[in-house]
Amino acid sequence: MGKTREKQPSRSMKPVFVVFCEGETEEAYLDFIKQTYRSPFKIIPKVEGGKITQHLIRTRCREVKISRNEKIQVFLMYDMDKPDITAKLLQLKAHLLLSNPCIELWFLLHRKDQKAEISTEDTQKALKHCGAPWNRYKKPEISFQQKEYLKQHVQEAIQRAADLPSHGNPSSDLHHLLNSVFKSLK
């Protein structure tokens, strides 16, 4: 009489987040997210700047896809301080992670509410005037102390960003990425 094989439980694939970003500060923040929330997912930052196109997105996604069952979520993480690039991004098929005017607004939201319109330069100044650990902020680096601050105050930033109008000035959609990350950890 032959042995019957025990049925193996189906394995679910890790979610793969492919995040296209415009610069080194965004890439440094994504590296921080990967290190901080060690979990069964991958974030693959792809710095593409203003060269982003739908064809480029498809090509990069094919490069990282391992199996047919793998679910890839594509995010575009850009500042909205360049209207021509913003208009281009709005035409692409991907989850938008736009910060208006810049990613430093997302960092600022970890410290305080920002409801009034603000420029890129003023956002960076406001961040540096928040005190430690931001008084020594230097683009594109994120220091160990700044990373710890971002980690400790992420829920406050998520709430503050969610309360802002989408794509207005100020606004940041980065809370959507963090919510996706937290959801994948469950």
The per-residue pLDDT for range 128-172, each reduced to its tens digit, is 999 999 999 999 999 999 999 999 999 999 999 999 999 999 999
Domain range for 179:
16-185
Q: Does residue 153 form part of some domain?
A: yes
Prediction pTM value: 0.87
Q: Does residue 110 form part of some domain?
A: yes
Q: Does residue 6 form part of some domain?
A: no
The rounded distance, in Å, linking the Cα atoms of 74 and 19 is 6
The rounded distance, in Å, linking the Cα atoms of 44 and 175 is 18
The per-residue pLDDT for range 114-125, each reduced to its tens digit, is 999 999 999 999
Q: Does residue 2 form part of some domain?
A: no
Q: Does residue 155 form part of some domain?
A: yes
What total of structural domains would you count in the chain?
1
Q: Does residue 180 form part of some domain?
A: yes
The string over 146-156, giving b where at least 16 C-beta atoms fall within 10 Å of a residue's C-beta and e elsewhere, is bbebbeeebee
In terms of Cβ atoms closer than 10 Å to its own Cβ (0-12, 13-18, 19+), residue 47 is middle
Q: Does residue 139 form part of some domain?
A: yes
Q: Does residue 126 form part of some domain?
A: yes
